Amino acid sequence: MLRLNPDVPVPAIAADEILIENHATSINPVDCAARSGYGQNFFSRLGWGELPMILGRDASGVVVETGADVTDLNVGDEVYAAPPIGCYAEFVKVKAAHAAIKPRNLDHNQTASLPFIALTAWTALVSEAGVTADNAAGKKVVVPRAAGGVGSFAVQLLKAWGAEVAGICSTRNLDLVRSLGADIVVDYTKEDFRDHLEGYDVALDLIGRKSDFEELNNDYKGGTDTQDGTHYDEQLMSVLRPDNDAVYVTVCSPKVALTNQYGFDAGMRRADDEYKKRAASAARNGYQYIWSFFNPSAEPLREISRMVEAGKIKPVIDRTYKLDEIVAAHEYCETKQAQGKIVIAIQ
Protein backbone atom coordinates (compact mmCIF):
# COMPACT_ATOMS: atom_id res chain seq x y z
CA MET A 1 0.00 0.00 0.00
CA LEU A 2 1.19 3.52 -0.83
CA ARG A 3 0.24 6.43 1.39
CA LEU A 4 1.28 10.08 1.33
CA ASN A 5 2.42 11.30 4.74
CA PRO A 6 2.60 15.11 5.05
CA ASP A 7 4.16 14.95 8.53
CA VAL A 8 7.50 13.25 7.80
CA PRO A 9 10.31 15.38 9.29
CA VAL A 10 13.17 16.67 7.17
CA PRO A 11 16.03 14.13 7.45
CA ALA A 12 19.01 15.00 9.63
CA ILE A 13 22.29 14.53 7.80
CA ALA A 14 25.61 13.06 8.90
CA ALA A 15 28.99 14.69 8.40
CA ASP A 16 29.53 12.93 5.05
CA GLU A 17 26.03 13.60 3.67
CA ILE A 18 24.14 16.33 1.85
CA LEU A 19 20.48 17.28 2.05
CA ILE A 20 18.73 17.65 -1.30
CA GLU A 21 15.54 19.60 -1.84
CA ASN A 22 14.14 17.06 -4.25
CA HIS A 23 12.54 18.33 -7.44
CA ALA A 24 11.86 15.00 -9.12
CA THR A 25 12.21 11.25 -8.74
CA SER A 26 11.20 8.22 -10.79
CA ILE A 27 9.71 4.77 -10.43
CA ASN A 28 11.72 1.60 -10.89
CA PRO A 29 10.19 -1.90 -10.95
CA VAL A 30 12.07 -2.71 -7.74
CA ASP A 31 9.99 -0.01 -6.00
CA CYS A 32 6.80 -1.84 -6.92
CA ALA A 33 8.22 -5.13 -5.67
CA ALA A 34 9.44 -3.52 -2.42
CA ARG A 35 5.93 -2.28 -1.75
CA SER A 36 4.86 -5.90 -1.40
CA GLY A 37 7.70 -6.74 0.97
CA TYR A 38 10.41 -7.71 -1.51
CA GLY A 39 13.79 -7.13 0.12
CA GLN A 40 12.47 -6.47 3.62
CA ASN A 41 15.10 -8.67 5.31
CA PHE A 42 17.81 -7.37 2.99
CA PHE A 43 16.95 -3.69 3.57
CA SER A 44 16.73 -4.17 7.32
CA ARG A 45 20.13 -5.87 7.60
CA LEU A 46 21.78 -3.16 5.52
CA GLY A 47 20.30 -0.47 7.75
CA TRP A 48 18.03 1.03 5.13
CA GLY A 49 14.96 0.85 7.34
CA GLU A 50 11.90 -1.25 8.07
CA LEU A 51 8.50 -1.32 6.41
CA PRO A 52 6.68 0.99 6.12
CA MET A 53 9.41 3.06 4.49
CA ILE A 54 9.80 5.87 1.99
CA LEU A 55 10.50 4.23 -1.35
CA GLY A 56 12.33 5.63 -4.37
CA ARG A 57 15.86 5.30 -5.77
CA ASP A 58 16.28 8.50 -7.85
CA ALA A 59 16.75 12.10 -6.75
CA SER A 60 17.33 15.30 -8.71
CA GLY A 61 17.28 18.59 -6.87
CA VAL A 62 19.20 21.35 -5.14
CA VAL A 63 21.63 21.00 -2.22
CA VAL A 64 20.25 22.89 0.79
CA GLU A 65 22.64 21.62 3.47
CA THR A 66 26.05 19.97 3.58
CA GLY A 67 27.68 17.89 6.30
CA ALA A 68 30.79 19.05 8.11
CA ASP A 69 33.09 16.77 6.08
CA VAL A 70 31.69 17.61 2.64
CA THR A 71 34.07 19.68 0.52
CA ASP A 72 33.22 19.04 -3.14
CA LEU A 73 29.53 20.03 -3.14
CA ASN A 74 27.96 23.28 -1.98
CA VAL A 75 24.57 24.67 -1.03
CA GLY A 76 22.83 25.71 -4.22
CA ASP A 77 24.38 23.02 -6.43
CA GLU A 78 21.96 21.17 -8.69
CA VAL A 79 22.72 17.49 -8.24
CA TYR A 80 21.44 14.01 -8.91
CA ALA A 81 21.94 10.71 -7.13
CA ALA A 82 20.54 7.24 -6.51
CA PRO A 83 20.46 6.61 -2.76
CA PRO A 84 19.27 3.17 -1.60
CA ILE A 85 15.87 4.37 -0.43
CA GLY A 86 13.80 7.43 0.47
CA CYS A 87 13.39 9.48 -2.73
CA TYR A 88 9.58 9.76 -2.84
CA ALA A 89 9.98 12.86 -0.71
CA GLU A 90 10.54 16.61 -0.81
CA PHE A 91 13.87 16.29 1.03
CA VAL A 92 16.37 13.47 0.61
CA LYS A 93 19.68 12.85 2.38
CA VAL A 94 22.49 11.38 0.30
CA LYS A 95 26.14 10.57 0.90
CA ALA A 96 28.13 13.29 -0.84
CA ALA A 97 30.31 10.62 -2.45
CA HIS A 98 27.21 9.29 -4.24
CA ALA A 99 25.96 12.59 -5.73
CA ALA A 100 27.14 14.57 -8.77
CA ILE A 101 26.28 17.78 -10.56
CA LYS A 102 23.35 17.00 -12.84
CA PRO A 103 23.58 17.41 -16.64
CA ARG A 104 23.27 21.12 -17.38
CA ASN A 105 21.13 20.59 -20.48
CA LEU A 106 18.41 18.64 -18.66
CA ASP A 107 15.69 19.79 -16.29
CA HIS A 108 15.11 17.95 -13.02
CA ASN A 109 12.32 15.75 -14.40
CA GLN A 110 14.57 14.53 -17.19
CA THR A 111 17.53 14.10 -14.86
CA ALA A 112 15.55 12.06 -12.33
CA SER A 113 15.02 9.37 -14.97
CA LEU A 114 18.73 8.58 -15.08
CA PRO A 115 20.72 7.87 -11.90
CA PHE A 116 19.46 4.46 -10.75
CA ILE A 117 19.25 2.90 -14.21
CA ALA A 118 22.53 4.49 -15.27
CA LEU A 119 24.41 3.18 -12.25
CA THR A 120 22.74 -0.24 -12.57
CA ALA A 121 23.90 -0.52 -16.17
CA TRP A 122 27.33 0.96 -15.38
CA THR A 123 27.98 -1.46 -12.53
CA ALA A 124 27.05 -4.46 -14.68
CA LEU A 125 28.80 -3.44 -17.89
CA VAL A 126 31.83 -1.52 -16.62
CA SER A 127 32.59 -2.72 -13.09
CA GLU A 128 31.65 -6.37 -13.66
CA ALA A 129 31.87 -7.16 -17.38
CA GLY A 130 34.84 -4.85 -17.95
CA VAL A 131 33.39 -2.91 -20.89
CA THR A 132 34.84 0.61 -21.06
CA ALA A 133 35.10 3.54 -23.43
CA ASP A 134 38.59 2.30 -24.32
CA ASN A 135 37.75 -1.30 -25.21
CA ALA A 136 34.07 -1.33 -26.26
CA ALA A 137 34.68 -0.74 -29.97
CA GLY A 138 34.30 -4.06 -31.76
CA LYS A 139 32.63 -5.85 -28.85
CA LYS A 140 29.26 -7.45 -29.46
CA VAL A 141 26.74 -7.03 -26.63
CA VAL A 142 23.17 -8.35 -26.39
CA VAL A 143 20.63 -6.43 -24.29
CA PRO A 144 17.17 -7.91 -23.62
CA ARG A 145 14.34 -5.67 -22.44
CA ALA A 146 16.10 -2.99 -24.45
CA ALA A 147 13.16 -0.56 -24.30
CA GLY A 148 13.02 -0.52 -20.49
CA GLY A 149 14.83 1.83 -18.17
CA VAL A 150 18.15 0.02 -17.74
CA GLY A 151 18.05 -1.43 -21.25
CA SER A 152 17.45 1.88 -23.03
CA PHE A 153 20.34 3.44 -21.14
CA ALA A 154 22.65 0.47 -21.73
CA VAL A 155 22.05 0.52 -25.49
CA GLN A 156 22.94 4.21 -25.67
CA LEU A 157 26.02 3.88 -23.46
CA LEU A 158 27.37 0.96 -25.47
CA LYS A 159 26.75 2.64 -28.82
CA ALA A 160 28.40 5.85 -27.58
CA TRP A 161 31.50 3.75 -26.90
CA GLY A 162 31.40 2.01 -30.29
CA ALA A 163 30.09 -1.44 -29.38
CA GLU A 164 27.86 -3.51 -31.66
CA VAL A 165 24.54 -3.93 -29.86
CA ALA A 166 21.66 -6.34 -30.32
CA GLY A 167 18.46 -5.26 -28.58
CA ILE A 168 15.61 -7.64 -27.75
CA CYS A 169 12.13 -6.16 -27.29
CA SER A 170 8.47 -6.50 -28.21
CA THR A 171 6.84 -5.37 -31.47
CA ARG A 172 5.64 -2.04 -30.07
CA ASN A 173 9.18 -1.09 -29.03
CA LEU A 174 11.08 -1.92 -32.22
CA ASP A 175 11.24 1.67 -33.49
CA LEU A 176 12.34 3.02 -30.11
CA VAL A 177 15.19 0.52 -29.76
CA ARG A 178 16.34 1.21 -33.31
CA SER A 179 16.28 4.94 -32.57
CA LEU A 180 18.61 4.36 -29.61
CA GLY A 181 21.18 2.98 -32.01
CA ALA A 182 20.86 -0.79 -31.71
CA ASP A 183 22.48 -2.51 -34.70
CA ILE A 184 20.22 -5.55 -34.55
CA VAL A 185 16.71 -5.57 -33.03
CA VAL A 186 14.89 -8.85 -32.41
CA ASP A 187 11.16 -9.00 -31.70
CA TYR A 188 10.85 -11.70 -29.03
CA THR A 189 7.09 -11.99 -29.58
CA LYS A 190 7.68 -13.30 -33.10
CA GLU A 191 11.19 -14.74 -33.17
CA ASP A 192 13.62 -16.69 -31.03
CA PHE A 193 16.68 -14.48 -30.66
CA ARG A 194 18.87 -17.57 -30.62
CA ASP A 195 18.09 -18.02 -34.32
CA HIS A 196 19.62 -14.62 -35.11
CA LEU A 197 22.45 -13.97 -32.65
CA GLU A 198 25.78 -15.71 -32.16
CA GLY A 199 29.35 -14.94 -31.23
CA TYR A 200 28.58 -12.25 -28.65
CA ASP A 201 31.14 -11.02 -26.15
CA VAL A 202 28.73 -9.87 -23.43
CA ALA A 203 25.14 -10.73 -22.52
CA LEU A 204 23.47 -8.26 -20.15
CA ASP A 205 20.53 -10.07 -18.57
CA LEU A 206 17.78 -7.69 -17.44
CA ILE A 207 15.10 -10.41 -17.12
CA GLY A 208 16.41 -13.33 -15.09
CA ARG A 209 14.94 -16.71 -14.28
CA LYS A 210 11.24 -16.82 -13.53
CA SER A 211 11.93 -19.51 -10.97
CA ASP A 212 14.17 -17.14 -9.02
CA PHE A 213 11.20 -14.91 -8.23
CA GLU A 214 8.29 -17.31 -7.88
CA GLU A 215 8.73 -17.63 -4.12
CA LEU A 216 8.23 -13.85 -3.77
CA ASN A 217 4.55 -13.78 -4.66
CA ASN A 218 2.33 -14.85 -7.50
CA ASP A 219 1.88 -11.30 -8.79
CA TYR A 220 5.57 -10.51 -9.33
CA LYS A 221 6.52 -10.95 -12.98
CA GLY A 222 10.22 -11.64 -13.07
CA GLY A 223 11.96 -13.56 -15.80
CA THR A 224 10.39 -15.94 -18.28
CA ASP A 225 11.46 -19.54 -18.73
CA THR A 226 10.57 -21.13 -22.07
CA GLN A 227 8.63 -24.19 -23.10
CA ASP A 228 11.80 -25.96 -24.22
CA GLY A 229 12.83 -26.22 -20.56
CA THR A 230 15.73 -23.79 -20.63
CA HIS A 231 16.10 -20.83 -18.31
CA TYR A 232 16.48 -17.33 -19.71
CA ASP A 233 20.09 -17.05 -18.54
CA GLU A 234 20.89 -20.26 -20.38
CA GLN A 235 19.28 -18.90 -23.52
CA LEU A 236 21.37 -15.74 -23.36
CA MET A 237 24.58 -17.63 -22.69
CA SER A 238 23.96 -19.74 -25.79
CA VAL A 239 24.60 -16.70 -28.04
CA LEU A 240 27.98 -15.97 -26.43
CA ARG A 241 31.18 -17.05 -28.13
CA PRO A 242 32.66 -20.09 -26.31
CA ASP A 243 35.59 -18.24 -24.85
CA ASN A 244 36.63 -17.58 -21.28
CA ASP A 245 36.60 -13.86 -22.05
CA ALA A 246 32.89 -13.92 -22.92
CA VAL A 247 30.72 -12.64 -20.07
CA TYR A 248 27.15 -13.25 -18.95
CA VAL A 249 26.18 -10.64 -16.37
CA THR A 250 22.75 -10.27 -14.76
CA VAL A 251 21.12 -7.67 -12.53
CA CYS A 252 18.39 -10.20 -11.66
CA SER A 253 19.92 -12.61 -9.16
CA PRO A 254 17.77 -14.54 -6.64
CA LYS A 255 19.78 -13.23 -3.66
CA VAL A 256 17.21 -10.75 -2.34
CA ALA A 257 14.29 -13.10 -2.94
CA LEU A 258 16.10 -15.88 -1.08
CA THR A 259 16.63 -13.63 1.95
CA ASN A 260 12.89 -12.93 1.84
CA GLN A 261 12.08 -16.59 1.93
CA TYR A 262 14.68 -17.94 4.37
CA GLY A 263 15.84 -14.92 6.35
CA PHE A 264 18.98 -12.91 5.71
CA ASP A 265 21.72 -15.31 6.85
CA ALA A 266 20.20 -18.53 5.51
CA GLY A 267 19.13 -16.78 2.31
CA MET A 268 22.63 -15.44 1.70
CA ARG A 269 24.12 -18.90 2.22
CA ARG A 270 21.67 -20.39 -0.26
CA ALA A 271 22.41 -17.58 -2.72
CA ASP A 272 26.14 -18.20 -2.42
CA ASP A 273 25.69 -21.91 -3.07
CA GLU A 274 23.44 -21.23 -6.06
CA TYR A 275 25.88 -18.72 -7.53
CA LYS A 276 28.79 -21.16 -7.28
CA LYS A 277 26.74 -23.85 -8.98
CA ARG A 278 25.68 -21.61 -11.87
CA ALA A 279 29.13 -20.04 -12.29
CA ALA A 280 30.73 -23.48 -12.44
CA SER A 281 28.22 -24.64 -15.05
CA ALA A 282 28.90 -21.55 -17.18
CA ALA A 283 32.65 -22.04 -16.84
CA ARG A 284 32.36 -25.59 -18.16
CA ASN A 285 30.77 -24.08 -21.27
CA GLY A 286 33.49 -21.47 -21.55
CA TYR A 287 31.73 -18.37 -20.17
CA GLN A 288 32.11 -16.07 -17.20
CA TYR A 289 28.96 -15.86 -15.05
CA ILE A 290 28.37 -12.77 -12.88
CA TRP A 291 25.64 -11.45 -10.62
CA SER A 292 25.78 -7.65 -10.60
CA PHE A 293 24.49 -5.46 -7.79
CA PHE A 294 23.86 -1.72 -8.07
CA ASN A 295 26.72 0.39 -6.75
CA PRO A 296 26.13 4.11 -5.99
CA SER A 297 29.01 6.37 -6.93
CA ALA A 298 29.49 9.97 -8.04
CA GLU A 299 32.31 9.18 -10.46
CA PRO A 300 30.16 7.38 -13.08
CA LEU A 301 27.45 10.01 -12.69
CA ARG A 302 29.97 12.74 -13.52
CA GLU A 303 30.95 10.88 -16.70
CA ILE A 304 27.29 10.30 -17.55
CA SER A 305 26.64 14.04 -17.17
CA ARG A 306 29.41 14.73 -19.67
CA MET A 307 27.98 12.23 -22.14
CA VAL A 308 24.47 13.66 -21.80
CA GLU A 309 25.76 17.19 -22.31
CA ALA A 310 27.62 16.00 -25.41
CA GLY A 311 24.39 14.57 -26.83
CA LYS A 312 25.56 10.95 -26.66
CA ILE A 313 22.89 9.84 -24.18
CA LYS A 314 19.34 11.11 -23.82
CA PRO A 315 16.69 10.34 -21.21
CA VAL A 316 13.87 8.07 -22.35
CA ILE A 317 10.70 9.05 -20.49
CA ASP A 318 7.33 7.41 -20.99
CA ARG A 319 5.12 9.43 -18.62
CA THR A 320 5.37 12.02 -15.88
CA TYR A 321 3.12 12.06 -12.80
CA LYS A 322 2.87 14.34 -9.79
CA LEU A 323 3.80 13.07 -6.34
CA ASP A 324 0.15 12.85 -5.27
CA GLU A 325 -0.44 10.60 -8.30
CA ILE A 326 2.08 8.03 -7.11
CA VAL A 327 -0.52 5.23 -6.89
CA ALA A 328 -1.47 5.65 -10.55
CA ALA A 329 2.21 5.79 -11.46
CA HIS A 330 2.87 2.49 -9.68
CA GLU A 331 -0.14 0.90 -11.34
CA TYR A 332 1.20 1.93 -14.73
CA CYS A 333 4.68 0.65 -13.90
CA GLU A 334 3.20 -2.74 -13.03
CA THR A 335 1.69 -3.05 -16.53
CA LYS A 336 5.30 -3.40 -17.77
CA GLN A 337 4.38 -1.32 -20.81
CA ALA A 338 6.55 1.71 -20.08
CA GLN A 339 9.10 2.73 -22.68
CA GLY A 340 12.02 3.97 -20.63
CA LYS A 341 11.18 5.62 -17.32
CA ILE A 342 8.19 6.88 -15.35
CA VAL A 343 9.01 10.20 -13.70
CA ILE A 344 7.48 11.77 -10.60
CA ALA A 345 7.52 15.58 -10.53
CA ILE A 346 7.78 16.86 -6.96
CA GLN A 347 8.31 20.58 -7.50
pTM, full prediction: 0.94
pLDDT score, position 242: 87
Per-residue pLDDT of 125-142, as tens digits, reads 999 999 999 999 999 999
pLDDT score, position 43: 78
pLDDT over 90, % of the chain: 80
Sign of the dihedral defined by the CA atoms of residues 100, 105, 109, 111, in that order: negative
Choose the weakest-confidence range: 31-40, 242-251, 280-289, 300-309. 31-40
pLDDT score, position 222: 42
Q: How far apart are CA 147 and CA 305, in angstroms?
A: 21
What kind and span of H or E run contains 250? strand 247-250
DSSP annotation string for 187-211: ETTT--GGGT--SBSEEEESS--GG
- Return the SS3 of 99: strand
Sign of the dihedral defined by the CA atoms of residues 295, 236, 32, 114, in that order: positive
pLDDT at 48 over 80: no
Torsion of CA 86, 90, 93, 97, to 10 degrees: 100
